[in-house]
Structure 1
């Protein structure tokens, strides 16, 4: 498990490209038959991926990092499959997962296994995990069951649909909020006009990109913006003081996860376009 520490915005102003990527970019999230984990001290998020090909991959605890006997002893997790068909087995109960299906598992589950239906087209399980103070039931939701929110327009190149999976009006959780944004063909911008939310941090995961496509992900304080070049199946940690927006050279989809003071999706601090620098 890799550690990522909280950074002060005044400090980040002096970061060069290499340091920005080291602190905020999640460059590799899938390795064959392995569990990939990043622990960020920003709201104690754990971000990770499981790519089962030849066999099962177990959601195992890193006791040195989380001080628990099992991964979900004091945590909850949201999982979205971005690959082929697979299964997540939770304490002996199997949950088949098609692409873009979401599974929430509450605090206290002990044994979680990831598997693929076809090794030639394996499942790719991306997940966000946050601390939890109580237990909620395990719930699966297909994208057709998620709450859609249509935003943007072709005129501003940001026509998109936000699908909410884990939120106050959907799958219940302690603090994790999670969903997915699909852009219409020809739209390249996400989350623009941008915002911050000083009471919550956020993590983005970009996927469904071609090998030669990139997303220029913008971060930083509104008056001191920076960017990261992000490629397929990479993620970005966004602290509460930072904007989080991006523009792609081709089509893409992204998963967002939030945690912090509240679960109110609309709790944002809008940034006027005229304020950006």
Structure 2
């Protein structure tokens, strides 16, 4: 694949547009990536023919993380206040779902991922402080980072969705290395907190067919279950990771030896 073919197949752009609810349906586990930035009117899920009609959540679960200013999400008759880096799990059901900013001039910036769901579980908000925190890496290998597991077993019950975010420390650039695969689930990466001229080089593909995607701020990379993945930035950055598939165990991965990369 040429660069434009890779981007067309594995990169989701045009996210976080002011006043817009945007979404992309992928054929990778039928996952959906989207965003909502309410700058005036409240933004809400509609009914989509591609999903069989009815409420967006009729047969789906959704994970949302706010990377902007304070806002709120209303699910049915429940309202959840969402500060920066708060997460919300929305369970399957015929719910109305809408997004609102506390101050439309300084809007919330909601990123969401959705997968098909076979059962209904309770909605739940998880603050950054309530997420499971893991500090990894070290400065000498340029991969010092903090992982926040917010929507995961033990915190939130879900069908297949697990979700959280990782913050790279100043002076570090790698989000994980050596890379790894996990054949039992796909993963989506959403990069944020990058300067306009900064880039993250997201590596994917088979170990002996390494490909690189140059990712800008607030773009998402789709990682199929067969693809290894890791990334390195031109400076510190953050990213939201989300996974769906057969296994929800975070450590269920197969590491790729550096010598196998080509």
Query: What's the TM-score once normalised by structure 2's chain length?
Result: 0.98
Q: 1:61 to 1:191 in 2, by over 3 A?
A: farther
Please give the alpha-carbon distance, in whole angstroms, between the structure 1 residues aligned to 2:153 and 2:117. Answer: 15
Q: Separation in 1 of the partners of 2:74 and 2:141?
A: 43
Provide, for residues 36-63 of structure 1, a one-character-per-residue CA deviation record: whole Å limited to 9, x for no partner. Answer: 1111111110110001001100022312
Q: Which runs of 4+ in 1 moved over 4 A?
A: none
Hey, what does 2:5 align to over in structure 1?
A: 19
Alignment partner of 1:43 is 2:43 = no
Contact 1:219–1:242 at 8 Å: present in 2 too?
yes
Can you give the 5+ residue segments of structure 1 that lack an aligned partner in the other structure?
1-14
Offset of residue 68 of structure 1: 2.9
Following the alignment from structure 1 to structure 2, what is the Cα–Cα distance between the partners of residues 276 and 60? Answer: 44
> Contact 2:143/2:175 (CA < 8 Å) preserved in 1?
yes
Query: Which runs of 5 or more structure 2 residues have no equivalent in the other structure?
Result: none
The answer (yes or no) to whether the contact 1:86–1:116 under 8 Å persists in 2 is: yes
In 2, Cα distance between the equivalents of 1:268 and 1:28? Answer: 30
Q: Secondary structure at the match of 1:190?
A: coil
The structural deviation recorded for 1:170 is 1.5
In structure 1, C-alpha distance between the alignment counterparts of 2:45 and 2:156, rounded to whole Å = 21
> C-alpha separation between the residues in 2 aligned to 1:251 and 1:152?
14
In the alignment, is residue 58 of structure 1 matched against residue 44 of structure 2? yes
Q: Partner of 2:104: helix, strand, or coil?
A: coil
Distance 2:231 2:100 in 1: 32
Q: May I ask how many residue pairs the two structures share in their alignment?
A: 262
Q: Is the 8 A contact 1:209 1:231 kept in 2?
A: yes
State the match for 1:198 in structure 2: 183
Given that 2:188 and 2:223 are in contact with CA atoms closer than 8 Å, whether structure 1 keeps it comes out as yes
Give the whole-Å Cα distance in 2 for the aligned partners of 1:203 and 1:223. Answer: 22
Q: 1:172 aligns with which of 134, 142, 157?
A: 157
Match of residue 268 from structure 1: 253
From 216, 226, 249, give the equivalent of 1:241: 226
Provide, for residues 63-91 of structure 1, a one-character-per-residue CA deviation record: whole Å limited to 9, x for no partner. Answer: 2x111301000000000001111010111
TM-score, structure 1 as length reference: 0.93
**Alpha carbons 1:68, 1:74 under 8 Å: kept:** no
Deviations 1:72-126 (A, max 9, x none): 0000000000111101011122111101000001000411110101122100100
**For 2:6 and 2:212, how far apart are their aligned partners in 1?**
9
Alignment partners' CA distance in 2, 1:28 and 1:120: 20
What is the distance in 1 between the residues matched to 2:193 and 2:94? Answer: 30
Q: How does 1:56-95 map to 2 (within 5 A)?
A: 56-63=42-49, 65-95=50-80
Partner residue of 1:102? 87
Q: Distance in 2 between matches of 1:109 and 1:90?
A: 10
Partners of 1:203 and 1:109 in 2: CA distance: 26
Q: CA RMSD, aligned part only?
A: 0.9
1:191-232: CA deviation from partner (whole Å, max 9, x where unpaired): 211100111100000001111111111111111110011111
